[in-house]
Structure 1
């Protein structure tokens, strides 16, 4: 008699790329229109760059920023609501086949005009940045808050919250603090928050065990007065970071010290080298291989592409390409890095460009879809059993 050993058959996993677009659906005085209907989900073909509508989620007000955790099937979305003392952050379960979103829960954010959310690199907590109204007496007025991620993907009440102090020289935009983003360090020990109102980068310590942010004791890094730091990204080398400054239209390369979370300035370049000071930079992204840095520039309605030196991350050249419409507020690189998806806020459209792998530039537009007042776009790859 012969016996055969059997091993369970592991069915190979398929993957699918989904694109989520957060759209303004409630009027805000500082935005021109609110033509959206919430969060729109598309499937994305990584071979052709084509988008296909899947679903729409309308049970959220002004989802102006999104953060996805693909391996857990979760999406987090801020609500930036003018005139209310607190914004909100919502947790959704994603159906990767249908693209439908199911609300898990929603939490207030301890501050107003919630403009940004992010997830730490171990997917244990969610951070938000509250931009805040131009009213110093407003309460509560916490600029940064953290939330523990629960077992079901929902969010705890805020596990910590922090108020910034100070102002900048631009009284029209910097009379009070205006936090704009918060990003985990590559080793997840720290999180860096940008404050457009105070011209500072604030380092927080990440307590993963307690799933909260804590004060780090690290002095805030002072940017140039009136710069208005908006978004920050880290280089894959783990020791360089970049910040785009909305008010003086520059991008800075920073040295990051992993041991203590400090930052120091290495270089500053104009986002539009041929027209210094023009435009209003918005989003900032870096290619996965660290070769190119990208910035969207409103007003000029272009995408800036900055070639980076291998190893150091120094900015060695810049080129500019049209964004394909008005007000490129947000953009995303596809998971393969082959495509650039641009949310054109005041053109009510999402445009897709194929990226030239040699130059890093958008080479051709391969698709676009009409979508009302897109404020944020995220592209994530999901495993499908």
Structure 2
């Protein structure tokens, strides 16, 4: 097969109380022209409820999707094989996630383990009540029964959002030794060891990094140098630079900036991405319908400056950089559209909008190169 880029969009198709619409049908697949920035629809999968987060193993043509279903004690994680020519997804199997409101999934860097973060209802004592779970990737690409599971404890000062733990993402370290979990409810970043041989996580053996009380850490990315990471905080609308020790997985807080300059605490940021060269960091800011662009020092990773541009529509929940780094694809949840922007290489900013497609309530977008 020749090299090609596919774009996967998970769309809300069941109403939940905290989202205004559910106009999607499931997972939509597009081919993407990396020269022109154009999307071409290929396929749609409707057999999955509320696929609000996706993860892909490009080398094996596999996709995993979490189902965020309100009112149920467990979500689902589904495994699909991707037909790389047609874009069709073929279901392999599903597993319960051992916790409610499954908000995020990811894959370790050796493609042995799928991780799930369960956000959880705002309900103490929920059963089974696990906030982090893992699943071994089987020979056929499917998922084993849960291989490890963990429950967090604690709360934060903003009791309307932090009365219980809320795991929000799981990110493997660049050396694949640790998986960092952000907990929006307890204001913590927790480093679990990855057991690659057995497709599971091991209990943390270092203390969690406690963020500012009420910050609400949501998403995290590593710098390409493997020695720094960044976290976007939903509740106090800040972006933090962190130091990372590959030896023991310990994180330390180095720097905090407002996600929106001159507008502290505003915006409700969501997603976070970093440019392949590590020179720019990006955050989607739902409450202001904008993208924040943060210029980084190439040597230290320090945040040097911040700029903001329109996201091209309402509620930019998720966005992705194309594999070439030349385009940004923004999922506009409440505009029912996916917008493509060309990135200006001299400023790092998403500049002209080069394409847009209509898609119902897009919640997650991934752009992946195959071949």
For the criterion TM > 0.5, the same-fold answer is yes
Residue matched to 2:101: 113
1:78 pairs with 2:58 = no
1:311 pairs with 2:304 = no
Q: Take 1:350 and 1:303, find their aligned partners in 2: how far apart are those partners?
A: 14
1:138 pairs with 2:126 = yes
Of the three residues 10, 31, 54, the one matched with 2:19 is 31
Residue matched to 1:368: 356
Q: Take 2:155 and 2:177, find their aligned partners in 1: how far apart are those partners?
A: 28
Cα-to-partner distance string for 1:266-308 (whole Å, 9 max, x where unaligned): 0000000121111100000001110100000011000000010
C-alpha RMSD of the superposition: 0.6
Cα-to-partner distance string for 1:223-277 (whole Å, 9 max, x where unaligned): 0000000000000010000000000000000000110000000000000012111
Residue matched to 1:61: 49
**TM-score scaled to structure 1, two decimals?**
0.96
Which 5+ residue runs of structure 1 have no aligned equivalent?
Answer: 1-12
Of the three residues 181, 186, 194, the one matched with 1:206 is 194
Q: Take 1:324 and 1:157, find their aligned partners in 2: how far apart are those partners?
A: 41
Q: Take 2:230 and 2:145, find their aligned partners in 1: how far apart are those partners?
A: 31
Residue matched to 1:96: 84
Q: Take 2:326 and 2:205, find their aligned partners in 1: how far apart are those partners?
A: 41
Q: Secondary structure at the match of 2:162?
A: coil
8 Å CA contact 2:190–2:204 kept in 1: the answer is: no
Q: Secondary structure at the match of 2:174?
A: coil
Which 5+ residue runs of structure 2 have no aligned equivalent?
Answer: none
Deviation at 1:216, TM superposition (A): 2.5
8 Å CA contact 1:200–1:222 kept in 2: the answer is: yes
1:381 pairs with 2:369 = yes
8 Å CA contact 1:237–1:311 kept in 2: the answer is: no
Q: Secondary structure at the match of 1:377?
A: strand
**TM-score scaled to structure 2, two decimals?**
0.99
8 Å CA contact 1:305–1:360 kept in 2: the answer is: yes
Q: Which runs of 4+ in 1 moved over 6 A?
A: none
Q: Secondary structure at the match of 2:64?
A: strand
Residue matched to 2:140: 152
Q: Take 1:33 and 1:142, find their aligned partners in 2: how far apart are those partners?
A: 28
* Residues matched between the structures, number: 371
Q: Take 1:239 and 1:376, find their aligned partners in 2: how far apart are those partners?
A: 27
Determine which structure has more spread, i.e. the larger CA radius of gyration: 1
Q: Take 2:112 and 2:346, find their aligned partners in 1: how far apart are those partners?
A: 37
